[in-house]
Amino acid sequence: MGERQKKGTDILWLFKMAWRDGKASYGKLLLFIFSIILGVAAVVSVHSFSGLLKENIALQSKALLGADFVIESDKPVNERVMGIMDSLGGADAKEINFLSMGAFPGNEGTKLMEVRGVDGDFPFYGGLEAEPPTAINDFRQNGALVDATTMLQFNLKVGDSIKLGAVTLPIAGGLKTVPGSNSVFGAIAPPVLIPFTYIDATGLVQTGSRIDYKYYFKADEGQDMEVLNNELDPILDDEDADIDTHVSEARRMGRRYENFGKFLNLVGFISLLLGCVGIASGMSIYIRMKLKSIAVLKCLGATKYQSYLIFFVQIACMGVIGGLLGSLTGFFIQRLFPVLLGDLLPIDVGISLSFQDVVLGLALGVTMSVLFALYPLIKTLYVSPLQTLRVVEERVPRSSWTTLAVGTGIVLFVLGFSFWLLGDFERSLYFVIGLSVVFLILTGVAKFFMGLLKRFFPYSWSFTARQGLRNLFRPQNQTLILVLSIGIGTFLISTLYFTKDMLLQKASIEDSANSANMILMDIQNGQADAVSNTITSSGLPVIDLIPIVTMRVERLKGRHVDDIQKDTTSQVSRWILNHEFRVTYRDSLINSERIIKGEWPPSKDYEGVAISVSEDFANRAKVNLGDQVTFNVQGRIMPANVVSVRAVDWSRLQPNFSVVFANGVLEKAPQFKVMTTRTGDDVSSAQLQQKLVKAFPNVSILDLNRMLTLLEDILGKISWVINFMAFFSIFVGVAVLMGAIYSSKHQRVKQGALLRTMGAKGTQILNIISIEYAILGFLGAFMGVVLAVLANFLLAWALFDMTFTPSAIPFIVIMPLIILLVFLLGVGNSLGIVRNSPLIVLRKEKE
Partner 1 sequence: MSKILKVQHLHKTYRSGEHDLTVLNDVSFEVDSGETFAIVGPSGSGKTTLLGLCAGLDITDQGDIWLCDQHLASLDEDGRARLRNQKVGFVFQDFQLLPTLTALENVIVPLELRGIKKASEQGKELLAKVGLEDRSGHYPSQLSGGEQQRVALARAFANKPAVLFADEPTGNLDDETGAKIEKLLFELNKEQGTALVIVTHDLELAQKTDKSIRLRSGKIEESIS
CB of 293 to partner 1, least distance (A): 5
DSSP state of 147: E
Q: Which amino acid is at 213?
A: Y
CB of 388 to partner 1, least distance (A): 5
| Of 395, 399, 396, 418, nearest in space to 407 by CA | 399
Task: Write out the DSSP string of 634-672.
Answer: TTEEEEEEEEEEEEE-TTSSS---SEEEPTTSSTTSS-E
String of contacts with partner 1 for each residue 786-825, x by CB under 8 A? ----------------------------------------
Q: Tell me the three state secondary structure of residue 486.
A: helix
* Closer to partner 1 by Cβ: residue 315 or 788: 315
Site for partner 1 contains 594 (CB under 8 A): no
Instruction: Please pick, from the candidates 82, 299, 340, 714, the single residue that binds partner 1 as defined by CB under 8 A.
Output: 299
- Taking CB under 8 A as the criterion, which residues in 827-846 touch partner 1? 843, 846
Q: Return all residues near 330 (Cβ < 8 A) that are at least 6 apart.
A: 40, 41, 42, 43, 44, 45, 48, 357, 361
Q: Return all residues near 168 (Cβ < 8 A) that are at least 6 apart.
A: 105, 161, 162
Site for partner 1 contains 603 (CB under 8 A): no
- Taking CB under 8 A as the criterion, which residues in 6-35 touch partner 1? 6, 9-10, 13, 16-17, 20-21, 23-25
Going through 166-240 in order, the beta strands assigned E by DSSP cover 167-177, 191-195, 211-217
CB of 399 to partner 1, least distance (A): 15
**Which window, 3-11, 42-50, 228-236, 716-724, contacts partner 1 (CB under 8 A)?**
3-11
* Closer to partner 1 by Cβ: residue 21 or 713: 21
CB of 375 to partner 1, least distance (A): 21
Q: What is the four-CA torsion angle of 527, 531, 532, 538, rounded to 10 degrees?
A: 160
Site for partner 1 contains 292 (CB under 8 A): yes
Task: Write out the DSSP string of 577-631.
Answer: HH-EEEEEE-SS--TTEEEEEE-SSPPTT--S-EEEEEHHHHHHHT--TT-EEEE
CB of 21 to partner 1, least distance (A): 5
- State how far the Cα of 69 lies from the Cα of 215, in Å rounded to an integer: 8
- Taking CB under 8 A as the criterion, which residues in 300-319 touch partner 1? 300-306
Q: Tell me the three state secondary structure of residue 86.
A: helix
- Taking CB under 8 A as the criterion, which residues in 384-443 touch partner 1? 384-386, 388-390
* Closer to partner 1 by Cβ: residue 344 or 396: 396
- Taking CB under 8 A as the criterion, which residues in 355-394 touch partner 1? 384-386, 388-390
| Of 723, 771, 815, nearest in space to 341 by CA | 723
* Closer to partner 1 by Cβ: residue 633 or 842: 842
* Closer to partner 1 by Cβ: residue 62 or 379: 379
Instruction: Please pick, from the candidates 182, 223, 229, 293, the single residue that binds partner 1 as defined by CB under 8 A.
Output: 293
CB of 9 to partner 1, least distance (A): 4
The verdict on whether omega for the bond into residue 123 sits within 30 degrees of 0, i.e. cis, is: yes
| Of 675, 648, 642, 676, nearest in space to 661 by CA | 642
- State how far the Cα of 815 lies from the Cα of 822, in Å rounded to an integer: 11
CB of 457 to partner 1, least distance (A): 25
- Which residue(s) pair with 518 in the sheet? 677, 703
CB of 398 to partner 1, least distance (A): 16
* Closer to partner 1 by Cβ: residue 209 or 388: 388
| Of 500, 495, 550, 496, nearest in space to 522 by CA | 550
Q: Return all residues near 788 (Cβ < 8 A) that are at least 6 apart.
A: 490, 491, 494, 495, 497, 498, 810
* Closer to partner 1 by Cβ: residue 10 or 237: 10
* Closer to partner 1 by Cβ: residue 3 or 681: 3
Site for partner 1 contains 297 (CB under 8 A): yes
* Closer to partner 1 by Cβ: residue 12 or 429: 12
**Which window, 244-252, 294-302, 366-374, 594-602, contacts partner 1 (CB under 8 A)?**
294-302
CB of 765 to partner 1, least distance (A): 23
Taking CA atoms, 611 is separated from 47, 598, 616, 669, in Å, by: 47, 11, 14, 16
* Closer to partner 1 by Cβ: residue 378 or 484: 378
| Of 216, 149, 213, nearest in space to 177 by CA | 149
Instruction: Please pick, from the candidates 296, 347, 545, 795, the single residue that binds partner 1 as defined by CB under 8 A.
Output: 296
* Closer to partner 1 by Cβ: residue 10 or 587: 10
Instruction: Please pick, from the candidates 5, 141, 460, 512, the single residue that binds partner 1 as defined by CB under 8 A.
Output: 5
Cβ-in-10-Å burial (0-12, 13-18, 19+) of 108 comes to: middle
* Closer to partner 1 by Cβ: residue 15 or 473: 15
CB of 769 to partner 1, least distance (A): 25
CB of 382 to partner 1, least distance (A): 10
CB of 842 to partner 1, least distance (A): 11
Q: Compute φ and ψ for 94, nearest 5 degrees.
A: -140, 165
Instruction: Please pick, from the candidates 163, 246, 262, 298, the single residue that binds partner 1 as defined by CB under 8 A.
Output: 298
CB of 317 to partner 1, least distance (A): 15
**Which window, 106-114, 200-208, 293-301, 519-527, contacts partner 1 (CB under 8 A)?**
293-301
Q: Compute φ and ψ for 830, nearest 5 degrees.
A: -105, 5
**Which window, 292-300, 411-419, 449-457, 780-788, contacts partner 1 (CB under 8 A)?**
292-300
- State how far the Cα of 591 lies from the Cα of 607, in Å rounded to an integer: 27
* Closer to partner 1 by Cβ: residue 299 or 363: 299
* Closer to partner 1 by Cβ: residue 142 or 399: 399
Cβ-in-10-Å burial (0-12, 13-18, 19+) of 214 comes to: buried
CB atoms within 10 A of CB 200: 14
Q: Which amino acid is at 187?
A: A
- Count residues binding partner 1 (CB under 8 A): 34
* CA dihedral (746, 278, 385, 398) positive or negative: negative
* Closer to partner 1 by Cβ: residue 391 or 513: 391
The footprint of partner 1 (CB under 8 A) covers 5-6, 9-10, 13, 16-17, 20-21, 23-25, 292-293, 296-306, 384-386, 388-390, 843, 846-847
